[in-house]
A and B are shown apart, each in its own frame.
Chain A
């Protein structure tokens, strides 16, 4: 059976061109970046070249890029690092209700340490309200952290306007750009972004590398103390192979971004139109146009998401859901609840995320099998609405 991977928002396969770039850094160029002899300097050179490549993608200076191990680490560093370094100014932090769990849980932990967290609202598409943000910023606000594009529903926030407000109010602005980094042109200068998180494994690089852009002059405390790597902000022996891969992945994204985003948007539109047209009582979650080129998030009345996922898997398609049944805590996705969905609506959600190797054939195949899957599950369901079987 042909396997179709439609969960690129979860992780991506490493591009063969990236693998090729990484390989020498395991056994040949294996040095420690802190060593003074040639092995070490070779590694150090690779690290600094990577920093340059990566910074170029978002218009940052190389010295403003800190490499970390994961987006979770970057987001933890951004929130906790800013919180503890700016405590004298204030203890108030603003986030959106649709942040990734690593931002949400970092904020919750900070609340336990005495910080005050304000969670903004979002509308039914998942967009924050700029006026509400403006009103929420106080004298003691030190940080605003809002996800650039939702990993679940794909909605893209008006990041430039948010940056403008934060600049005007003189508070730090952090954005988790993990999903948008390779798909939307980001300019940290123009968008007034002070801190930005991105991750390698979401953009066809290897797992184990991520970055935090920190605008020069930003007051921030490290989480990891030790040998003083990464300008003293992230001590740890540098994972050179993963970082070299991340940089190569960035370079490829930069070259292909425009074309790829257009191509994926077209496929996404075909998928959305097809699903909504072929399946009754189906809905799109997230914004109809202000959404990631590769994200389609649906919900279907009267059926449960995990059942859809496993049916799809049995037919070779990999996808994901925000249903309570598939979560460790047995709670529906907080993002779906934040956009106003009721529990049972979140129960029937399905996220399909496209990527570099998704073809029109793949989309056609999903459109062929999905209506039958939903129909069968509705047959089993005690709720059938107006469906007759």
Chain B
């Protein structure tokens, strides 16, 4: 069991906040075109006592390896209850550190989780016609490009999902 840290295995075995959310305020659907992993992140936004917007609830679905599942799980824990501003500061370094490290070849998995979060926030802001920070816009464009590539690859399965959801 040497390849993954204890923390990674803990999150992999018992992922936190796992599953599809009904009527989320924002959804981030991202994929990694290199390895083929796919992650969906759902957020529900609320307000704290100060009136700041916070991520009240969050959940994920991931098709991928141990590292992809563990990073998905930990990011939901890191983000839950945080203001959107705080949440946007969580990057892959923070994710990897919280998991007690990842094998070098698996670092790209942490990028996936970070990218899913920014995409979910982007989705929330744009749905509510809010101003999108420049940095977020840039990240979104990159994620869109990768998603296009992945959508082609998973066309069959995505269609199947859509059909099931409509039913």
Say yes or no for A323: interface residue by CB 8 A criterion: yes
Say yes or no for A114: interface residue by CB 8 A criterion: no
Q: How far is the CB of B94 from chain A (nearest CB, A)?
A: 22
B36 touches which of A343, A384, A389 (Cβ 8 Å): A343
Chain A residues lying within 8 Å of B34, measured Cβ to Cβ, are 324, 330
Q: How far is the CB of B21 from chain A (nearest CB, A)?
A: 12
Selecting from B57-65, B123-131, B135-143, the interface stretch reads: B57-65
The answer to whether B157 and A325 have CB atoms under 8 Å apart is no
A307 touches which of B12, B39, B160 (Cβ 8 Å): B12
| Residue with the highest number of chain B CB atoms closer than 10 Å, among A302, A310, A314, A386 | A310
Q: How far is the CB of B84 from chain A (nearest CB, A)?
A: 23
Closest residue to A378 on the B side, CB-wise? Answer: B63
The answer to whether A344 and B66 have CB atoms under 8 Å apart is no
Distance, CA A273 to CA B156, complexed state (A): 27
Say yes or no for B100: interface residue by CB 8 A criterion: no
The answer to whether B35 and A325 have CB atoms under 8 Å apart is yes
B65 touches which of A313, A326, A382, A384 (Cβ 8 Å): A326
Instruction: Sample 12 A-B pairs with CB under 8 A, ordered by A number.
Output: A304-B37, A307-B64, A325-B37, A325-B67, A326-B65, A332-B36, A342-B153, A343-B153, A381-B61, A382-B63, A383-B38, A383-B63
Distance, CA A88 to CA B166, complexed state (A): 66
User: Which residues 1-52 of B have a CB within 8 angstroms of A?
Assistant: 1, 4, 9, 12-13, 15, 18-20, 29, 34-40
A320-333 vs B, CB cutoff 8 Å, 1 = contact: the mask equals 00011110101010
Tell me whether A380 and B69 are in contact in the complex, defined as CB-CB below 8 angstroms, given that A304-B37, A310-B12, A385-B164 are known contacts. yes
Q: How far is the CB of B16 from chain A (nearest CB, A)?
A: 11
The answer to whether A383 and B12 have CB atoms under 8 Å apart is no
Q: How far is the CB of B19 from chain A (nearest CB, A)?
A: 7
The answer to whether A382 and B35 have CB atoms under 8 Å apart is no
A304 touches which of B9, B19, B65, B164 (Cβ 8 Å): B65
Chain A residues lying within 8 Å of B161, measured Cβ to Cβ, are 382-385
Say yes or no for A347: interface residue by CB 8 A criterion: yes
Tell me whether A381 and B63 are in contact in the complex, defined as CB-CB below 8 angstroms, given that A307-B12, A330-B105, A386-B164 are known contacts. yes
The answer to whether B66 and A310 have CB atoms under 8 Å apart is yes
The answer to whether B39 and A379 have CB atoms under 8 Å apart is no
A290-321 vs B, CB cutoff 8 Å, 1 = contact: the mask equals 00000000000111101100100110000000
The answer to whether A330 and B35 have CB atoms under 8 Å apart is yes
Q: How far is the CB of B104 from chain A (nearest CB, A)?
A: 11
Chain B residues lying within 8 Å of A304, measured Cβ to Cβ, are 37, 63-65, 68
Chain A residues lying within 8 Å of B40, measured Cβ to Cβ, are 382
Distance, CA A324 to CA B33, complexed state (A): 11
Distance, CA A383 to CA B156, complexed state (A): 10
Chain B residues lying within 8 Å of A303, measured Cβ to Cβ, are 63
Chain B residues lying within 8 Å of A382, measured Cβ to Cβ, are 20, 29, 38-40, 61-63, 161
B154 touches which of A314, A332, A383 (Cβ 8 Å): A383
Closest residue to B29 on the A side, CB-wise? Answer: A382
Q: Which 10 A-B pairs have the closest CB atoms?
A: A325-B65, A382-B61, A306-B65, A382-B40, A381-B63, A383-B157, A330-B35, A324-B35, A310-B66, A330-B34
Closest residue to B20 on the A side, CB-wise? Answer: A382
Tell me whether A310 and B154 are in contact in the complex, defined as CB-CB below 8 angstroms, given that A328-B105, A381-B62 are known contacts. no
The answer to whether A302 and B12 have CB atoms under 8 Å apart is no
Q: How far is the CB of B142 from chain A (nearest CB, A)?
A: 18
User: Which residues 319-376 of A have a CB within 8 angstroms of B?
Assistant: 323-326, 328, 330, 332, 342-344, 347
Distance, CA A303 to CA B63, complexed state (A): 6
The answer to whether A379 and B13 have CB atoms under 8 Å apart is no
Q: How far is the CB of A382 from chain B (nearest CB, A)?
A: 4
Q: How far is the CB of B71 from chain A (nearest CB, A)?
A: 13
The answer to whether B62 and A380 have CB atoms under 8 Å apart is yes
Tell me whether A313 and B1 are in contact in the complex, defined as CB-CB below 8 angstroms, given that A324-B36, A385-B164, A386-B164 are known contacts. yes
Chain A residues lying within 8 Å of B38, measured Cβ to Cβ, are 382-383
Chain B residues lying within 8 Å of A324, measured Cβ to Cβ, are 34-36
Closest residue to B13 on the A side, CB-wise? Answer: A314
Tell me whether A344 and B36 are in contact in the complex, defined as CB-CB below 8 angstroms, given that A307-B65, A330-B105, A379-B18 are known contacts. yes
Distance, CA A343 to CA B36, complexed state (A): 8
Chain B residues lying within 8 Å of A379, measured Cβ to Cβ, are 18-19
The answer to whether B62 and A314 have CB atoms under 8 Å apart is no
20 other A-B residue contacts (CB within 8 Å) besides A304-B65, A332-B36: A304-B37, A304-B63, A304-B68, A307-B64, A307-B65, A324-B36, A325-B64, A343-B153, A347-B36, A379-B19, A381-B62, A382-B39, A382-B61, A383-B154, A383-B157, A383-B158, A383-B160, A384-B161, A385-B161, A386-B164
The answer to whether B62 and A344 have CB atoms under 8 Å apart is no
| Residue with the highest number of chain B CB atoms closer than 10 Å, among A303, A332, A347 | A347
A380 touches which of B15, B36, B154 (Cβ 8 Å): B15
Q: How far is the CB of B23 from chain A (nearest CB, A)?
A: 17
Chain B residues lying within 8 Å of A381, measured Cβ to Cβ, are 61-63
Distance, CA A342 to CA B34, complexed state (A): 14
